[in-house]
Structures are given as structure tokens and as C-alpha cells.
Amino acid sequence: NAGVTQTPKFQVLKTGQSMTLQCAQDMNHEYMSWYRQDPGMGLRLIHYSVGAGITDQGEVPNGYNVSRSTTEDFPLRLLSAAPSQTSVYFCASRTGTSGEQYFGPGTRLTVT
Amino acid sequence: GDSVTQMEGPVTLSEEAFLTINCTYTATGYPSLFWYVQYPGEGLQLLLKATKADDKGSNKGFEATYRKETTSFHLEKGSVQVSDSAVYFCAFESYNQGGKLIFGQGTELSVKP
């Protein structure tokens, strides 16, 4: 099992550009989520999904879109990047309604 | 609202020293509690967990006990190693938003030989 994979590892964007952060898991987990990690703030939930076709907003959803067309994939789209979106992004997955979440290696995004 | 407060870092210890990282939480009910560890350049890994009051989670020499009365989940290790250098996050599983994790700000630990 590869677990949770994320691409790219690093990305630099200019303000106003768009991009998609990819996330995939091969554990057949129903629950997937995106967090951002900022210095001194821990991780905060952006969006989550409890299964294919179902997504919902987390604590900090503005400026991000998600979709879940398959169980395996949960891409995060930045529609028009802003410097405030400079962060490290982690995708996570979990089986069932509670329990251990498995995290991907992260994507470090810089918006200039 | 839901929150986690962790001891501020960075914490610098010598090898074989005793480690305590304090963690207290504010939550509705009695959620599952976790410690995650992030090694340099990597994602978060679950270190240990406890799912009910008085449970003790343990792994790799680390321990933490779910204290309902003090809403605390302090992380301890009797003898740290250089390889324990990492950032440690205390977290709990909220009853909202699909069971999202509420994280503390993280505590950086540096162990010197």
C-alpha cells in the first residue's frame, strides 16, 4: 500500500494563478480531508468528504474548491491564488466515522 | 469553542533526559485524544491515542493518560533519543464536520547528543 500520496511536493504560484493539489489513497477509506498548516497555528480543516460525491466545508474553506468523484481521489483546487494561501497542505484519510487519520507527506505552496 | 493548548516550544533536551509536553483541551463531551508526530520534511504520523477517560496510550516509549477531570493529555517519555527530534501535535476528534481533528499549535522538540 502506498497509503496517502500527494503531488506536487513543492509549488510556487503567482497571485491570481490557479492550480490543483492532488491527493490519492489506496486504503479504500471513505473519509478524506484537506488541512493547511501554518506556523504557530497547528493544522486547520479546509474541506472534507465522507464518501464519493459528498463534500463539505471545514473551518477555512474560502478560496478553495474540492470534488470527490471516486473513493480514491480528493483534489483541492485553488481558483485564484493569494499570498495568504502560502502554507503547507496535508491530505488525510480515515476509514469509518472515527479513528486514526492517515496523512500524506504534504505540499508546500508559496504564492508570490 | 473547541480548542487545544500545548506547551510552547522549542524544547531542547539532552539525550536520556525526561520529556513532558503539556496538552489541555476544551471540547464538548469526551472525545478521542491523539498525539501526532511530524519528523522533518514529512507528514504527520499517529504516535498514540486514548479513547476514554483514564485510558493510557503508549508507543515507542511515549505515554499519555486521558485525564477527564483536568481535560489534559500530557505526553511523557522517560529517556529521549536524538531520533525523537520532531514536532509533536496534540489533537482531539471533534463531533463536528465529520469528526475533524482539532490540533494544538505543535511543540518542536530538539534532542542533543
State what percent of residues in chain A have pLDDT above 70: 99
Is the Cβ–Cβ distance between B49 and B34 less than 8 Å? yes
Longest dimension (CA), chain A: 39
Could you say which residues of chain A have pLDDT below 70?
97
Look over chain B and give the mean of its residue pLDDT values, rounded to a whole number: 94
User: Euclidean distance between the first and final Cα of chain B, in Å?
Assistant: 41
Backbone Cα Rg of chain A: 13
Q: Which of A16-25, A76-85, B72-81, B98-107 has the lowest mean pLDDT?
A: B98-107
Strand spans (E) along A52-94: 54-57, 64-66, 76-78, 87-94
Burial of B37 (0-12, 13-18, 19+ CB in 10 A): buried
Q: Chain B 27-66, CB below 8 Å of chain A: which residues?
A: 32, 34, 36, 42-46, 49
| Grid cell at residue A1 | 500500500
| Dihedral angle sign, alpha carbons of residues A25, A21, A97, B42 | positive
pLDDT score, position B81: 97
Closest by CA to B52, choosing from B71, B34, B70, B33, is B33
Distance CA(B91)–CA(B6), nearest Å, equals 10
Residue A96 contacts B where some CB pair is shorter than 8 Å: no
The answer to whether the Cβ–Cβ distance between A48 and B100 falls below 8 Å is: yes
| Dihedral angle sign, alpha carbons of residues A104, A90, B1, A59 | negative
Q: Give me the helices (H) in chain B, please.
A: none
The DSSP result for A10-48, as a single string, is EEEE-TT--EEEEEEESS--SEEEEEEE-TTS-EEEEEE
pLDDT score, position A72: 97
The answer to whether the Cβ–Cβ distance between A103 and B43 falls below 8 Å is: yes
Find the Cα–Cα–Cα–Cα dihedral A54, A59, A62, A63, rounded to 10°: -80
Residue A60 contacts B where some CB pair is shorter than 8 Å: no
Distance CA(A12)–CA(A28), nearest Å, equals 31
Backbone Cα Rg of chain B: 14
Q: Which residues in chain A have Cβ-Cβ distances shorter than 8 Å to B91?
A: 42
pLDDT of B98 higher than 80: no
pLDDT score, position A107: 96
pLDDT score, position B95: 80
The residue in chain B having the minimum alpha-carbon distance to the alpha carbon of residue A32 is: B98
pLDDT of B97 higher than 80: no
Q: Which residues in chain B have Cβ-Cβ distances shorter than 8 Å to A58?
A: 97, 100
User: Euclidean distance between the first and final Cα of chain A, in Å?
Assistant: 36
Q: Could you tell me which residue, B98 or B4, shows the higher pLDDT?
A: B4
Calculate how close chain A gets to B64, using CA atoms only, in Å: 16
Burial of B51 (0-12, 13-18, 19+ CB in 10 A): middle
Q: Which residues in chain B have Cβ-Cβ distances shorter than 8 Å to A99?
A: 32
Give pLDDT tens digits for B23-66. Answer: 999 998 889 999 999 998 888 999 999 999 999 999 999 999 99
State what percent of residues in chain B have pLDDT above 70: 100
Q: Give me the helices (H) in A1-112, please.
A: none
Is the Cβ–Cβ distance between B52 and B83 less than 8 Å? no
Calculate how close chain B gets to A46, using CA atoms only, in Å: 10
